């Protein structure tokens, strides 16, 4: 995905995280993207905004990915001015973006599609209530997620602590973590051995049933411990 290199700017502290997440999304064939909190840019003069690399420019990079895979990005923000700015930055991808001016909680409650890739960044971490707000977002969005979905949380720290705790208790695992962001997915199983394809598997263990992701033939990064001596597979759930 050559478009990613455009975002490899020294000021873009989130580049490595976005790159990891979108490369993983491509492996999983994820096409329906949702973000809460659009890229606002920064105001240079009274009526002129420019790219703000420090916030990662999420709407622009996610819409580039949506265009690349012929998918869709739905971007929600409560502030109409923020949406207008995001439209300017991402106008080359406008055919692949749906903008929604609404509170993210209400938006997610009404969303009627499965979400492949969810990016939560709707309330900056320095604001009171940001952590509880993000927690409510993931609680509502959870019903829209499937076994292969990815969830990327921004502003790692106080803002993400409640969300991460909730997700880890609901069968998610952290698959990548940087200073600014955390990427999570339902915990998964990797089958080592290209000659084997397991379309369905339920294995009893001390942790309960083990389910494969929606498409187990897709290579997936996971912290699970797996060994494959000749023809016998030992599979253990991530801890």
Among the listed residues 99, 81, 33, 101, the one whose alpha carbon sits nearest the alpha carbon of residue 61: 33
Which pLDDT score is estimated for 158? 84
Tens of pLDDT, residues 144-200: 999 999 999 999 988 999 999 999 999 999 999 999 999 999 986 444 443 333 333
**Positions in the chain whose pLDDT score sits under 50:** 45-48, 189-239
Using an 8 Å Cβ cutoff, are 189 and 217 in contact?
Answer: no
Domain boundaries, the chain: 2-186, 188-239
Among the listed residues 144, 143, 162, 163, the one whose alpha carbon sits nearest the alpha carbon of residue 152: 163
Beta strands 145-154 and 115-120 are parallel
Which CATH fold would you assign to the domain 2-186? Answer: Rossmann fold (3.40.50)
Its pTM stands at: 0.77
Q: What is the rounded end-to-end Cα distance, in angstroms, of the chain?
A: 32
Which pLDDT score is estimated for 96? 98
Using an 8 Å Cβ cutoff, are 28 and 20 in contact?
Answer: no
Q: At what angle do helices 158-168 and 130-141 cross, to 10 degrees?
A: 30
């Amino acid at each position: 995905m050559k478009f990613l290199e455009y975002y490899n700017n020294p000021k873009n502290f989130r580049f490595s995280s976005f790159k990891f997440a979108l490369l993983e999304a491509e492996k999983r064939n994820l096409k329906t993207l949702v973000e809460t909190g659009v890229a606002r840019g920064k105001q240079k003069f009274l009526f002129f905004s420019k790219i703000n690399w420090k916030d990662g420019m999420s709407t622009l990079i996610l819409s580039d990915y949506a265009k690349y895979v012929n998918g869709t990005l739905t971007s929600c923000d409560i502030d109409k001015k923020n949406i207008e700015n995001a439209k300017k930055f991402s106008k080359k991808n406008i055919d692949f973006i749906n903008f929604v001016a609404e509170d993210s909680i209400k938006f997610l409650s009404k969303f009627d599609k499965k979400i492949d890739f969810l990016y939560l960044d709707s309330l900056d971490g320095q604001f009171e209530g940001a952590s509880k707000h993000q927690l409510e977002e993931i609680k509502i969005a959870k019903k829209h997620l499937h076994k292969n979905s990815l969830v990327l949380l921004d502003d790692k720290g106080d803002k993400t602590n409640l969300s991460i705790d909730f997700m880890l208790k609901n069968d998610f695992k952290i698959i990548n973590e940087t200073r600014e962001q955390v990427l999570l997915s339902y915990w998964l199983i990797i089958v080592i051995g290209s000659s084997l394809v397991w379309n369905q598997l339920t294995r009893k263990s001390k942790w309960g049933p083990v389910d494969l992701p929606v498409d187990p033939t897709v290579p997936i990064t996971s912290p699970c411990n797996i060994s494959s001596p000749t023809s016998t597979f030992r599979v253990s759930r991530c801890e």
